[in-house]
Amino acid sequence: MNAPILWIFLPLALGGFLLLFRHERVLTILGGTSALVLSLIAMFLPIDVALGSGVFSFKLAGSLNVLGRSLVLETADGPLLAILYGLAAMWFFGAESLGLARRLIPMGMAILALLVASIAVRPFLFAAVFIEIAVLLSVPMLLPPNQRPGRGIVRYLTFQTLAIPFILFAGWLLAGVETSPGDVALTLQATAMLELGFAFLLAVFPLYAWIPMLTEEAPPYLVGFLLWVLPQTTALFAMGFLDRYPFLRLSTDLMNTLRVAGLLMIVSAGVWAAFQHHLGRLMGYAAVAETGFLLTAIGLGAMSGIQLVFLQMIPRGLGMAVWAMSLSTIQNQVETPRFSRVRGAARVLPIATMGVIFAHLSTAGFPLLAGFPVRLALLESLARESIGLTLWLALGLLGLTVGAVRTLGVTTLSDAETGWSSRETRTQLVLIALGMLALIALGFFPQASQFLLKSLPALFENLGQ
């Protein structure tokens, strides 16, 4: 058995196979169970380690050559695969209750497989091609047939595609840097190309205008899935560049740029969230802030910063899933999720409203929720570098908190004295309630996920040293 076949080619084939099914329940069972099984295998079956004794032995090979290129998954990749496929299973199981299983699960499985391939491919420059294919596959998932794309989808596709030539050109320049490491001009050109490419891919300020637009135009649950998986894997791709090239990871200017770019995203997203009147756009700005947290952590450069990148993975995926499901549940009951239309929504959709508030507060780092330990650790690490930068980070968190408080006020107050009821389906109630309990549990016991996270920094042997 071969690890790339198991976690890349098999999910790709499964995604195509699931396109043949039309029944939402069958799709959910097949897709969710498959992702969960792949997660459990990654958790308990080590890669490139011989198992068994005597005449019976088994080894899951970690590499595969395809068309002259290698797909390599190492032992340290196991926990990462377990997290990615485990969180994807959670998204897939929730899709049926919103009537989105046919749109999410087949394409979502293929997108996840391609993004895993972007982490595994050698030379790793070809990861940009896999990311672009994943972006192209996401468009039919977001856009139903016979519907014209809105500005958000067009900008999303345009900006993500614009990133690819910059990254490929940077890779060509980096090949020259490896042969002539003393060429300062070539080094600066390669760094500039990489910065531009990843600025488009990660929607760095001010290139993130398409995110709140997209959350208005497409179903929040589908957009939320992309806003979780694409930035997370792209950040790992970017860390691969930093780990490979010493002149990048040892560049003080580059690390400062990453920190400043991350803080700009956090502060600007927090300010916009504090004055926002649309629940979908609020989720979009929260996703922008989450990417800002990732960039800020990478920009710290030390091993503590790398650990913070991985520490954010589970709270980010869980919080975004709870938020997207809760928001989709609300949006199915109202004409538009603007504040004027969701006034008093908590009286008829109490659990869904609580899910939005809990996920929002978790992103803002509210105490005793999943995001709090991560935000606190980031504040402490940043304080060692600069008190001024720490205050800017606190300002961004304050803006996100104000947005959550305004949402709470709007959804709980009503002009008419209407009674309390619950319009959520039983499945929606159970899934959102379980998600909120998980957010609380991770807030109280953040060490519960350490058995998966502790070995992940080994993926980048040089970064942080």
Burial class (CB in 10 A: 0-12, 13-18, 19+), 148: exposed
pLDDT score of 385: 83
Q: What confidence score (pLDDT) does residue 465 get?
A: 56
Instruction: Extract the tokens encoding 232.
Output: 């997370």
User: In this structure, are residues 223 and 142 in contact, taking their beta carbons and an 8 Å threshold?
Assistant: yes
pLDDT of residue 346: 85
pLDDT at 134 over 60: yes
Contact 343, 413 (CB under 8 A): yes
Q: How many helices (H) does the chain have, and how many strands (E)?
A: 20, 5
* Mean pLDDT value of segment 125-145: 88
Is the pLDDT at 143 greater than 90? The verdict is no
Mean pLDDT of 250-260: 86
Q: What is the mean pLDDT of the chain?
A: 87
Residue 340: phi and psi, rounded to 5, are: -65, -25
Instruction: Using the CB atoms, write b or e for 424-438: b if 16+ within 10 Å.
Output: beeebbebbeebbeb
**pLDDT at site 417:** 64
Residue 181 confidence (pLDDT): 65
pLDDT at 205: 86
Check residue 455 and give its pLDDT.
Answer: 81
Burial class (CB in 10 A: 0-12, 13-18, 19+), 422: middle
Across-strand partners of 61? 2
- Token representation of residue 448: 């519960």
Q: What is the pLDDT averaged over residues 84-88?
A: 94
Q: Is the pLDDT of residue 271 over 60?
A: yes
Using alpha carbons, select from 304, 323, 388 the residue that is nearest to residue 361.
323
Mean per-residue pLDDT for 329-342?
Answer: 86
> Cα(236)–Cα(210) distance, rounded to whole angstroms?
22
**Segment 260-264 mean pLDDT:** 92
Q: Given a cut of 80, is residue 414 above it in pLDDT?
A: no
Sequence letter at residue 116: V
pLDDT at position 57 is: 67
Q: What is the pLDDT of residue 333?
A: 86
Q: Judge whether residue 106 has pLDDT over 90.
A: yes
- Whether residue 123 is preceded by a cis peptide bond, meaning omega within 30 degrees of 0, is yes
Place 55 in a pLDDT band, splitting at 50, 70 and 90.
low
Q: Please name the amino acid found at residue 128.
A: A
- Residue 416, pLDDT score: 63
Say if residue 219 is preceded by a cis peptide, omega within 30 of 0. Answer: no
pLDDT value, residue 60: 79
Of 44-58, 72-86, 215-229, 427-441, least confident by mean pLDDT is: 44-58
The two three-digit tokens of residue 310, written as one number: 């991985």
Bridge partners (DSSP) listed for residue 338: 278
**pLDDT tens digit sequence for 148-167:** 888 889 999 999 999 988 88
pLDDT of residue 299: 87
Above pLDDT 90, what percent of the chain? 45
Inform me whether the pLDDT recorded for 72 exceeds 70. Answer: yes
Q: How many CA atoms lie within 13 A of 230 on its CB side?
A: 29
- Residue 464: band (very low, low, confident or very high) from pLDDT cuts 50, 70, 90: low
pLDDT given for residue 244 in this prediction: 82
* pLDDT of 182: 66
Least confident of 199-213, 236-250, 308-322, 355-369: 236-250
Question: Is 20 in a helix, a strand, or coil?
Answer: coil
Of all residues in the chain, what percent carry a pLDDT higher than 70? 95
Q: Are 436 and 358 in contact (CB under 8 A)?
A: yes
- 274: which strand partners? none
pLDDT in tens, 354-401: 999 999 999 999 998 999 999 999 999 888 888 988 999 999 999 999
- What pLDDT band is residue 188 in, cutting at 50, 70 and 90? confident
Give the pair of three-digit tokens for residue 258.
């990453």
> Mean pLDDT throughout 399-426?
83
The residue that leads in pLDDT, 362 or 174, is 362
Is the CB of residue 114 less than 8 Å from the CB of residue 137? yes
